[in-house]
A and B are shown apart, each in its own frame.
Chain A
Amino acid sequence: MADTSVKDPQVKKAEPLFGKAERKLLVDPLNDNNPITVQVLGICSALAVTSLVYPSVVMAVSVIFVTAFANLFTSILRNYIPKQVRMIVQLVIIASLVTMVELTLRYLNYPIYKQLSVYIGLIITNCIVMGRLEAFAMANKPWRSFIDGIGNGLGYGVILIMVGIVREIFGKGSLFAGSPIELKIIGATDAYMIDTTQSVLFGWYANNNLMVLPAAAMFLIGIFIWIQRSYNQKLVDVS
């Protein structure tokens, strides 16, 4: 709930456009209706990029952009799309947006583009985008759909970045590696904040290679779900 206070200035500025319902659309996906841990959407392209924080952030931003604008355009066109071909129309909208993201990223930051490789393209089949188009944008007005897209993209991004932070600190001992604000936290040279060869307290520490493996992302999300559901009893799976 801490981040709602940060968003308050925006809320006041756009009072008629941004009421209670809109705020709910934005905040709900962060916890109660999180796309990854509750709706189980969009895990496909997410987990493989989270071994470092910086690619996760890039991925999250790309997904927020695509969900928001795909929702907006689909919602604008919703009354003109015949029901039988709606999947193809939606896919074309998403694919064009993703192509834009891909080309922009290739121009702006080629190393990250190489690192994310096919996963940028896989935003097309990211179930979050498709799922929100089907469930929300086809039945709601453009502005609300846009907010819903941003909210769901954020909910996805938050999980992605949380997994990324845990995996990078414990796997590599750094934070934001590859970005301009790289932090070296713990490691075996004096370039790191905690130098394990010098430090008395952390002399035993070594990077956990399990965290670099893709499987660690599965464990972490499993644990996040466990924590979230222990606090939020109504999400518990009864079956």
Chain B
Amino acid sequence: MEFLNVFIKAAFIENLVLAYFLGMCSYLAVSKTVKTAFGLGLAVIFVLGITMPINWLISEYLLSENGLLGIDLTFLRFILFIAVIASMVQLVEMVVEKFSPGLYAALGIFLPLITVNCAILGGSLFMVSREYNLTESVAFGLGGGFGWFLAIIAIAAIREKIRYSNVPPALRGLGMAFILTGLMGIAFMSLMGIDPAVFTAAK
């Protein structure tokens, strides 16, 4: 049941955007309307869910000292992880384009953007430093992606509404987005008290 545990923890309690500030660039740049935010959010869930187990396999069987090669290659971690992410994004883009042109048109330019989304690489690095196993890393990928999705939808909706408010000109746009994210971060902190074990103990 640790799947659900890690999922809830990654999505709500340790939200990648609001607690760790990962993926901030695209989060701020693409959150002007809900529609585009939705597309990017979906793409992030998708890519995080795929790259996380692959990177887990690589770091476990290729890079670690107990792996197949028997040599400690952890210094290659960054290069291999980013290569996996870049090629997975490319692959996902081609597959989606082939099988679902509708989704491809919806995601549009956001797919290639994801390569440089810190949330993806950050997720993989957190996975290594927290020593997750394979199931946990899948859960962490999907949960983290879902949390990112929630955060970007929320800020996009707020930014759509705040356009009708009387914000000081110098604070309009970017400045306000920063302060809103800070407030959302504080709001999300109230979820910190949740013990994820509660959801699994009943079973």
Contact = CB atoms under 8 A, between A and B. Distances in A.
B170 A229 contact: yes
A236 B182 CA distance: 21
Interface string A201-215: 000000000000111
Contacts of B129: 117-118
A96 interface: yes
Interface stretch (B44-52, B118-126, B193-201): B118-126
Contacts of B87: 88
Interface string B66-88: 00000000011111001100110
A126 B118 contact: yes
Secondary structure of the B contact surface, majority rule: helix
Contacts of A117: 129
**A37, A46, A215 interface centre (most CB from chain B within 10 Å):** A215
Contacts of A127: 25, 116
Contact of B24 (A47, A88, A124, A225): A47
A98 B78 contact: yes
B171 A225 contact: yes
Interface residues of A, number: 48
Nearest to B25: A127
A222 B171 contact: yes
A117 B186 CA distance: 23
A218 B178 contact: yes
Interface in A92-117: 92, 94-96, 98-99, 102-103, 117
Chain B interface size range: 35 or more
A69 B87 CA distance: 24
A157 interface: no
Contact of A48 (B20, B25, B112, B175): B20
A98 B78 CA distance: 8
Contacts of B86: 87-88, 91
A192 interface: no
B171 A45 contact: no
Chain A binding surface SS class: helix
A43 interface: yes
A139 interface: no
Interface string B138-172: 00000000000000000000000000000011111
Given A48-B20, A127-B116, A122 B178 contact: no
Contact of B117 (A47, A48, A125): A125
A239 interface: yes
B79 A95 contact: yes
Contacts of B55: none
B185 interface: yes
17 contacts: A40-B29, A44-B21, A44-B25, A45-B118, A47-B21, A48-B20, A88-B87, A95-B78, A96-B79, A102-B78, A121-B77, A122-B118, A127-B116, A217-B182, A229-B171, A230-B170, A236-B169
Interface of B: 19-25, 28-29, 32, 75-79, 82-83, 86-87, 112, 115-122, 125-126, 129, 168-179, 181-183, 185-186, 189
